[in-house]
Copies of this chain bind each other. A is one copy, B any other.
């Protein structure tokens, strides 16, 4: 199973693709899609969609995982992050991928076992879980890999439940 994590952003949008085969997880790709700050907002959103569409076409993920956005103090950033997340969600849907969303806290909890973990702790766990010698850079790429790992962890938990609860959900 291939899972593509997307950490939405207009200036910098992180992505990370993880393959799960049996119990083994490996990072297939990770990086950042950027849009030119000189361009106007509509063109930047169209560029983002084109680049994300290419990523999805290249990696053909079974699931695309997008960070669920909440409003922080920086209203201007929150707007563009929300718009970028919308572009990521619709691009995944149009490509026929399953889509999952998790909050930053859910990702922290799934990856480190601690919902208030620091970004650095999450990034070190991402490297450890994926057997990488170094923490993936830039941080947006590591965050995207963490989203993919969070989904894989959540899927394992969900799969384990029916045996206890007596039925598939």
Contact = CB atoms under 8 A, between A and B. Distances in A.
Interface of A: 40-43, 45-46, 48-49, 69-71, 75, 78-79, 82-87, 89-90, 92-94, 99, 101
Contacts of A84: 86
Contact of A89 (B45, B70, B85): B45
Say how many copies of this protein the assembly contains.
2
A42 B89 contact: yes
A151 to B, nearest CB: 14
Given A71-B71, A75-B71, A42 B83 contact: no
> Chain A at the B interface: mostly helix, strand, loop or mixed?
helix
Contacts of A92: 42
A99 B69 contact: no
A55 to B, nearest CB: 16
Contacts of A101: 41
A158 to B, nearest CB: 17
Contact of A86 (B43, B45, B78, B93): B45
23 contacts: A40-B99, A41-B89, A41-B99, A42-B89, A42-B90, A45-B86, A46-B90, A46-B93, A46-B94, A48-B90, A49-B90, A49-B94, A70-B79, A71-B71, A71-B78, A71-B79, A78-B82, A79-B82, A82-B82, A83-B85, A83-B89, A86-B86, A87-B90
Residue from A49, A78, A86 with most neighbouring chain B CB atoms (10 Å): A86
A58 to B, nearest CB: 19
Nearest to A90: B45
Given A42-B99, A71-B78, 15 more contacts: A40-B99, A42-B89, A42-B92, A45-B86, A46-B93, A48-B90, A49-B94, A70-B75, A70-B79, A71-B71, A71-B75, A82-B83, A83-B86, A87-B87, A87-B90
